[in-house]
Amino acid sequence: MNSPRLRLVFAGTPEFAVPCLEACRASGAEVVAVYTQPDRPAGRGRKLTPSPVKQAALAAGLAVEQPESLKSTEAQQALTAYRPDLLVVVAYGLILPRKVLAIPRLACWNVHASLLPRWRGAAPIQRAILAGDSESGVDLMQMEAGLDTGPVLLQRRTSIAREDTGGSLHDRLSQLGAEVLADGLRRTLAGETLTATPQPAEGTTYAHKLDKAEARLDFGKSAIELERQVHAFDPWPVAEGEIAGEPLRIWAAQAIELDHHATPGSVLAAGRGGIDLACGRGALRVTALQRAGGKRIGAIDYLNARPELRQPR
């Protein structure tokens, strides 16, 4: 299949998928259509806003389709009319029925942000950080009817550093996803048939969708668990906790090994280095936070507004 006439339909919605769309455009395949979710209300004005993938597609002059669902006969006929050889799906957000999976001549591919079968599902990046995983990656997977159950074609791996946040790991995996997809497309256009490796039967975990309620910090837990919450939920939904009775968003914090007998959540020390809060085990040093209606600030700026909290270490 050396021809650049490989007809490709891309389906994706958030910023994570944009580098993969660019990889498709640069591959030599013909991107005949881009599918993305309908425009959604966003911002304070709740104005209908196109997805990042739609914005990138329109800027590139590509045809854009935004069905509410792919379950209807009409939606499936519209996709069939594009005569795709390959359907590439990256964080699209809609379920693909069996009939849709059967439309492309060659296959349906998915770029998934985990090392399958660990963290199948909607929020693999944040779940990996919450669980304290030391490694993540991206899989180029051949899609089938189950949720992220298909065989893996190609894979890229990356270490998760202790300081990684949901945002930093997202950005790294987004680029790795584009790399693995570009490799798969290059090989396919060169006539190679990629080896489909079934996922292991052991080690399956599910990355359930994030809930804002999960961002609430329970200081009865260990400091390292809370550190992971703070990191995983940056930039969304952002961890929430109280300092001396004031509800705050906690943007940055680190676990400190410290023996104490203080009440969980109480202030142990507060100064230029941060605000140390007692946890069920250890202490959480808060270094960046946000007051209601305010902006993100450093701990020292917060203490300037609340000098009564200052306590030497």
Query: Between β-strands 86-90 and 7-12, what pairing exists: parallel, antiparallel or unpaired?
Result: parallel
Dig out the tokens for 288 from the structure.
Answer: 């960046």
115 labeled binding residue: yes
- For CA atoms 221, 247, 260, 162, the dihedral sign is positive
- Does the annotation flag 6 for ligand binding? no
CA distance 103 to 207: 28
117 is in an annotated binding site: yes
Residues ≥6 apart with Cβ < 8 Å to 214: 229, 233, 237
* Nearest Cα residue to 245 out of 164, 176, 309: 309
- Give dist(CA 146, CA 138) in Å, integer: 18
Residue 306: burial class (beta carbons within 10 Å; 0-12, 13-18, 19+): middle
114 assigned to a ligand binding site: yes
Residues annotated within the binding site are 114-117
Q: Binding site membership for (6S)-5,6,7,8-tetrahydrofolate: which residues?
A: 114-117
